[in-house]
Amino acid sequence: MSDGLRESEGPESPAKPVPFRGGGFLPKPRRIVAPIVFIALIAFWEFGCRVGFISPLILPAPSEAFDAFMNLVRTGLLWDHLAASLQRLLIGWSAGTLLGIFVGTLIGLFSLARSGLQPLVSAIFPVPKIALLPLFVIWFGIGEGSKVATILFGTFFPTVIATYGGIDNVDRNLIRMGQSFGLSKLSIIRKIILPGALPAILSGARISAAIAIILLVAAEMIAAEYGVGAYILLAGSLMATDQLIAGVALLSLMGLVFAWLIGQAEKYFLKWR
Amino acid sequence: MDLNLRHISHHYDEVEVLRDINLDIRRGQIVCLIGPSGCGKSTLLRLIGGLERPTGGEVLQSGEVPEGCLNPLTYIFQDFALLPWRTVEANVSLVLEDHDLSAAAREAIIADVLARTKLADFRKAYPRQLSGGMKQRVAIARALSVRPAVLLMDEPLSALDSQTRELLMDDLVDLWEKEQYTAAYVTHNLNEAVRLGHRIVVLSRRPGEIREIVEIDMPLSDRRSDNSELEAIQKRLWNLMREEALAADRELLDV
């Protein structure tokens, strides 16, 4: 063995391991933690109500909220409320999203649309659509029209912005490649630009789904007989906090289902990533 | 098909990129364009293929286009330019779909070019699953599928590590031995230029002008990397470029 290989065995310096300084900054999902937190919180809440340090006037016990929910199921009112809400959501959200993708694509592709529509979109996007609700009632009637229109407008703008943002970020080299092989304009849009913008469009859909649920409740608070929002409003004005909690839980559930569906769509459409 | 560049000059706004380029790209020859970075060699390639319009001068094509040619001037890009959401076969299929071909004819072309580039086993793979060398093979297969008259290669091996580069260079040589394709090959790597080029065009720094055209008569298959004659040529090219490269290196980029 050469001297070089034994260099470290000098007599006066005791060997110690190099301190580890890497790792961290990479949170990983731990599947069982979330249910534990959830169950613990509800158990604590129920316990507090039973023992009495949470007054039933301030917050009803989870079991009472659950009873209220079961009552909804028994009377069959749940389906009336859900059907009304889901219908508004689906029509409003899908129309808003489709129109948003269409207009976003125009802004992403054509100079004229970009210069004409982009400032308009930027100006209207930050306006809370709830503020426009009275106007929508005048324009589209007090019935379904104004409710769907609120959701439609609310989801339209974020989708437009997500779509043209996605198109702007499509690799220019891919477009140049398409041109260099003599692909038609339509082919380039259909096969290169839109698939390239799809990840951004889908994350836009995630945001607009959440916005749709917020606006659904707001819209249903005006002159709606059925709907989760109407149910919550009624419960609130009767101080029936158990029903209110049940309604809110229902909204949260709807949001989770929506997010899961979009997650599935991402998994399917973006499996190439 | 031959390409003739006549008095090509080009500006980006105020910046003069290319000045009075005259060059012929003859059938069956590989013309290498070398020069210091920023000398406009990639721009020149885009002008040759009609992806950009020169400010002055013109690019002419003369002679017959080979039979069955779908896209006479076909690029191979440095970054491969594969669609990540399409599989290998679908990436090749992309450039055939706009042409009037039956499904069977298209399938036959895809099978043929994938076999020629040794990719037949990777038909269903997505680009993210492939190494850089494999990705560039897919891009070469895609380029071959349209039976180009002239291949326009923009630093096709620059994004690869040196071992892969060596392998792909052999592939390009083999391919040329079989089909004598015509090519314009932009590179900053002098070794690639002397291995592949029948003619090597040395451009000066910006504004790019032709400083010298070096012809190498040696057959491509004889050009081993340790050939002394090639080494001498490479050294000469480097002497030509050295000062230009030094000066170009010291220029501000965003003039």
CA distance B146 to B98: 11
Q: Residue A80: what residue type?
A: D
CA distance A238 to A241: 8
Would you call A35 exposed, middle or buried from its count of C-beta atoms within 10 A (0-12, 13-18, 19+)?
A: exposed
E strand segments, B26-107:
30-34, 56-62, 73-76
| Token pair 């003369």: residue | B62
| Predicted local confidence at residue A1, as pLDDT | 47
Are A56 and A46 within 8 A, CB to CB?
no
DSSP string, A88-112: HHHHHHHHHHHHHHHHHHHHHH-HH
Are A96 and A159 within 8 A, CB to CB?
yes
CA distance A196 to A198: 6
Chain B residues near residue A196 by CB distance under 8 angstroms: 85
Task: Test A182 with B71 for CB contact under 8 angstroms.
Answer: yes
Paired strand residues for B11: B16
| Predicted local confidence at residue A5, as pLDDT | 55
| Token pair 């779909």: residue | B97
| DSSP strand pairing (B2-12 vs B56-62) | antiparallel
Number of domains within chain B: 1
Nearest-Cα residue of chain B relative to residue A191: B94
What does each C-alpha distance from B24 to A161, B182, B231 come to in angstroms? Answer: 48, 12, 26
Is B255 contained in some domain? no
| Predicted local confidence at residue A9, as pLDDT | 54
| Interface residue of B83, B135, B150, B155 to substitute, partner A, most A CBs within 10 Å | B83
Q: Does B80 touch chain A (CB under 8 A)?
A: no
Range with the lowest mean pLDDT among A233-242, B32-41, B140-149?
B32-41
Is B214 contained in some domain? yes
Q: Domains of chain A, with CATH numbers? A: 61-269 (1.10.3720.10)
Residues in chain A: 273
Backbone angles phi, psi at A202, to 5 degrees: -70, -35
| Predicted local confidence at residue A117, as pLDDT | 94
Residue A6 DSSP class = G
Closest residue by Cα to residue B94 from A48, A174, A153 = A174
Q: Round the CA-based radius of gyration of chain B to a whole number and report it.
A: 18
| Predicted local confidence at residue B150, as pLDDT | 92
| Predicted local confidence at residue B253, as pLDDT | 62
Give the pLDDT band (50/70/90) at residue B211: confident
- Helix or strand (DSSP H, E) at A67: helix A62-75
Alpha-carbon torsion (B215, B219, B222, B223), positive or negative: positive
Is B177 contained in some domain? yes
Are A110 and A225 within 8 A, CB to CB?
no
Q: Round the CA-based radius of gyration of chain A to a whole number and report it.
A: 27
Task: Test A180 with B73 for CB contact under 8 angstroms.
Answer: yes
- Helix or strand (DSSP H, E) at A246: helix A241-269
Paired strand residues for A229: none
| Predicted local confidence at residue A203, as pLDDT | 93
Chain A residues near residue B98 by CB distance under 8 angstroms: 182-184, 187
Say what the alpha-carbon torsion angle A155, A158, A159, A160 is, to the nearest 10 degrees: 120
Q: Residue A151: what residue type?
A: I
Is B97 contained in some domain? yes
Report the CATH number at residue B202.
Answer: 3.40.50.300
Q: Which residues does chain A have with pLDDT short of 50?
A: 1-2
| Interface residue of B71, B80, B91, B98 to substitute, partner A, most A CBs within 10 Å | B98
Q: Does B65 touch chain A (CB under 8 A)?
A: no
Backbone angles phi, psi at A17, to 5 degrees: -70, 145
For B:222-251, CB contacts with A below 8 A are none
Q: Give the structural domain span for B61.
A: 2-249
End-to-end CA distance of chain A: 50
Are A247 and A220 within 8 A, CB to CB?
no
Q: What is the pLDDT of residues B179-210, one digit of tens each?
A: 888 999 999 888 889 889 999 999 988 788 89
Chain B nearest C-alpha distance from A175 (Å):
9
Q: What is the pLDDT of residues B39-84, one digit of tens each?
A: 888 899 999 999 999 998 999 998 888 888 899 999 999 999 999 9
| Predicted local confidence at residue A10, as pLDDT | 55
| Predicted local confidence at residue B223, as pLDDT | 82
Chain B residues near residue A176 by CB distance under 8 angstroms: 51, 81
Chain B residues near residue A189 by CB distance under 8 angstroms: none
Residue A188 DSSP class = I
Peptide bond into B207 cis (omega under 30): yes
Is B174 contained in some domain? yes
Q: Across residues B152-161, what is the average pLDDT?
A: 91
Six token digits for residue A112: 């004229």
Is B254 contained in some domain? no
Is B81 contained in some domain? yes
